Chain A
Amino acid sequence: GAGVSQTPSNKVTEKGKYVELRCDPISGHTALYWYRQSLGQGPEFLIYFQGTGAADDSGLPNDRFFAVRPEGSVSTLKIQRTERGDSAVYLCASSSVSNEQFFGPGTRLTVL
């Protein structure tokens, strides 16, 4: 069956620009997570959705980051006024009641 998909796979932008990253979870998974992974590090939690609502956004680094999941399926991570320090791989994961999170391939964001 289809896994978690993320688009684009790569995104290059300039400092100060706005970007949107998309995640399409496994069908039927109600929980969706965003993580950020820097080189040589493990993934770091950003935000968690249960259904349409953000149940925990404590990992978002500042108010330039925002995420939505309007219909309880696809989610979009939005980053305003990008900075060079935002460069990383952004990972999306989804899970069902088992709590086992299945990850997508990630979006590599490069801010020039």
Chain B
Amino acid sequence: EDQVTQSPEALRLQEGESSSLNCSYTVSGLRGLFWYRQDPGKGPEFLFTLYSAGEEKEKERLKATLTKKESFLHITAPKPEDSATYLCAVYSGGSNYKLTFGKGTLLTVNP
């Protein structure tokens, strides 16, 4: 069974203080790893899909990387508006396309 573990559970940063969020996964065969952002009371907002080890994707202050065992979401010079819960999910293929999510990392960026 696919498993996703995210760490830390919560992270508090000062504005401009760069850091990384971790997503460790166990799957029978990774077909895709997804990062989402979720604001309170809202649905998850799609950020990135990574498909193979070594792949990297960037969007504004966010950069996602992937190895064979984990993914990192790097946040460079964060701003208060980056505060949210960041969710990682994996897709292991087959015919169902369901995503298995971690519990998320709650990021708070203080001004």
A56 lies within 8 A of chain B by Cβ: yes
Set of chain A residues within 8 Å of B111, measured between Cβ atoms: none
- With an 8 Å Cβ cutoff, the count of chain A residues facing the other chain is 25
Set of chain A residues within 8 Å of B91, measured between Cβ atoms: 99
> CA separation between A44 and B4, bound complex, in Å?
12
Cβ-defined contact, A104 with B102, below 8 A: no
> CA separation between A99 and B4, bound complex, in Å?
19
**Separation in Å of the B15 CB from the closest CB of chain A?**
26
**Separation in Å of the B45 CB from the closest CB of chain A?**
7
Measured CB to CB, the nearest residue on chain A to B36 is A103
Set of chain A residues within 8 Å of B99, measured between Cβ atoms: 33, 43, 45, 101
Set of chain A residues within 8 Å of B100, measured between Cβ atoms: 45
Set of chain A residues within 8 Å of B4, measured between Cβ atoms: 42
Q: Size range of the interface on B?
A: 20 to 34
Measured CB to CB, the nearest residue on chain A to B4 is A42
If the complex has contacts A40-B103, A91-B43, are A99 and B32 also in contact, measured as CB distance less than 8 A? yes
> CA separation between A93 and B91, bound complex, in Å?
15
Measured CB to CB, the nearest residue on chain B to A3 is B43
Cβ-defined contact, B98 with A42, below 8 A: no
Residues from 58 to 79 in A contacting B, C-beta threshold 8 Å: 58-59
Q: Which residues of B are interface residues toward A (Cβ below 8 A)?
A: 4, 32, 34, 36, 41-46, 49, 87, 89, 91, 95-104
